[in-house]
Structure 1
Amino acid sequence: MQARRQDKHVCGGMIKDKHSLKGKLVGFYTPWCGYCKKLEPVWYEVGVELRSSGSPVRVGKMDATAYSGMASEFGVRGYPTIKLLKGDLAYNYKGPRTKDDIVEFANRVAGPAVRALPSKQMFEHMMKRHDVLFVYVGGESTLKEKYNDVASELIVYTYFFSASEEVLPESMSLPELPAVIVFKDGAYFTYDEYEDGSLSSWVNKERFQGYLQIDGFTLYELPLHLMWYFALFSFAFRLKALIQRVAKEYREHFNSDFQFGHMDGNDYINSLIMGEVTVPSVIILNTSNEQYFLPGEPIETMEQLVQFISSVLNGSAQAYGGDGIIQRIKRVAFDARSTIMSVFRSSPLLGCFLFGLPLGVISLMCYGICTAESDDGSDDIDALKREGLTDEEEEEEEERQRAAELEGPDDGENEEEDVGEKDPEVKKTD
Structure 2
Amino acid sequence: MRHLLNVTALLSVIAVVSGYVEELDDKFKDYLKHELWLVEFYAPWCAYCHTFEPVWHEVGAELKSMGSPVNVGKIDTTVHTSIASEFNIRGYPAIKLFKGELSFDYKGPRTKDAIIEFTNRVSGPVVRPLSSVQLFQHVMSRHDLIFVYIGGESYLKVNIIREYYKAATEYIVHTYFFTASEEVLPKTVTLQDVPAVAVFKDGTYYLYNEFLDGDLSSWINRERFPSYFQMDSFSLYQMGELSKLVALAVVDEKNPSEESIRYKTLMERLSTEYRDNYKSDYQFGFMDGNEYINGLIMGEVEMPSIIVLNMTIDGYCLPENKIETIEDLLRFLNSVLDGSAKLQGGNGFLQHAKRSLYKAKSTVVSMFQEAPFFSCFVFGLPVGIVGLVIWGTCTAVPADDDKPVGGAPASPVLDADGKKAIELQSDSTDKTSEAKKED
**Aligned twin of 1:228:** 249
Q: Deviations over 1:281-332 (max 9, x none)?
A: 1011111111111111110100010110011111111111212222234445
Q: CA deviation at 1:256?
A: 0.8
CA distance in 1, matches of 2:22, 2:391: 56
Q: Deviations over 1:42-72 (max 9, x none)?
A: 1221122112222222222223233333443
2:17–2:58 contact (8 Å) kept in structure 1: no
CA distance in 2, matches of 1:284, 1:264: 15
1:225–1:260 contact (8 Å) kept in structure 2: yes
Q: CA deviation at 1:75?
A: 2.7
**Aligned twin of 1:114:** 127
**Aligned twin of 1:103:** 116
Give yes or no for the alignment of 1:215 onto 2:232: yes
**Aligned twin of 1:38:** 51
Show the 5 A alignment for 1:137-148.
Answer: 137-140=150-153, 141-148=158-165
Letter in 2 for 1:327: Q
Letter in 1 for 2:246: H
Give yes or no for the alignment of 1:163 onto 2:176: no
The alpha-carbon distance between structure 1 residues 390 and 166, as it changes in their structure 2 partners (threshold 3 A), is farther
**Aligned twin of 2:281:** 257
2:41–2:75 contact (8 Å) kept in structure 1: yes
State the secondary structure of the residue aligned to 1:193: coil
Give yes or no for the alignment of 1:283 onto 2:307: yes
The alpha-carbon distance between structure 1 residues 199 and 395, as it changes in their structure 2 partners (threshold 3 A), is farther
Letter in 2 for 1:296: E
**Aligned twin of 2:142:** 129
Q: Deviations over 1:249-300 (max 9, x none)?
A: 1111111111111112112333344432211110111111111111111101
Q: CA deviation at 1:25?
A: 1.3
Q: Deviations over 1:87-143 (max 9, x none)?
A: 111111111111101111111011000000111111111112111110001222221
Letter in 2 for 1:73: E
Show the 5 A alignment for 1:379-398.
Answer: 397-398=435-436
**Among candidates 73, 84, 95, match of residue 60 of structure 1:** 73
Cα RMSD (Å): 3.9
CA distance in 2, matches of 1:8, 1:173: 51
Structure with greater Cα Rg: 1
The alpha-carbon distance between structure 1 residues 390 and 294, as it changes in their structure 2 partners (threshold 3 A), is farther
**Aligned twin of 1:307:** 331
Moved more, 122-131 or 2-11: 2-11
CA distance in 2, matches of 1:76, 1:337: 22
CA distance in 1, matches of 2:144, 2:161: 23
State the secondary structure of the residue aligned to 1:208: coil
1:11–1:59 contact (8 Å) kept in structure 2: yes
What fraction of aligned residue pairs are identical, expressed as a percent?
49
1:18–1:70 contact (8 Å) kept in structure 2: no
Letter in 1 for 2:31: S
1:228–1:280 contact (8 Å) kept in structure 2: yes
Aligned residues: 386
**Aligned twin of 1:201:** 218
Q: TM-score, with normalisation over the residues of structure 1?
A: 0.78
**Aligned twin of 1:79:** 92
Q: TM-score, with normalisation over the residues of structure 2?
A: 0.76
Letter in 1 for 2:116: V
The alpha-carbon distance between structure 1 residues 67 and 3, as it changes in their structure 2 partners (threshold 3 A), is farther
Show the 5 A alignment for 1:398-409.
Answer: 398-401=436-439
**Among candidates 78, 82, 107, match of residue 94 of structure 1:** 107
Q: Gaps (5+ residues) in structure 2?
A: 1-10, 368-378, 399-404, 407-423
CA distance in 2, matches of 1:181, 1:339: 42
Moved more, 295-304 or 212-221: 212-221
Structure with the higher helix share, 1 or 2: 1
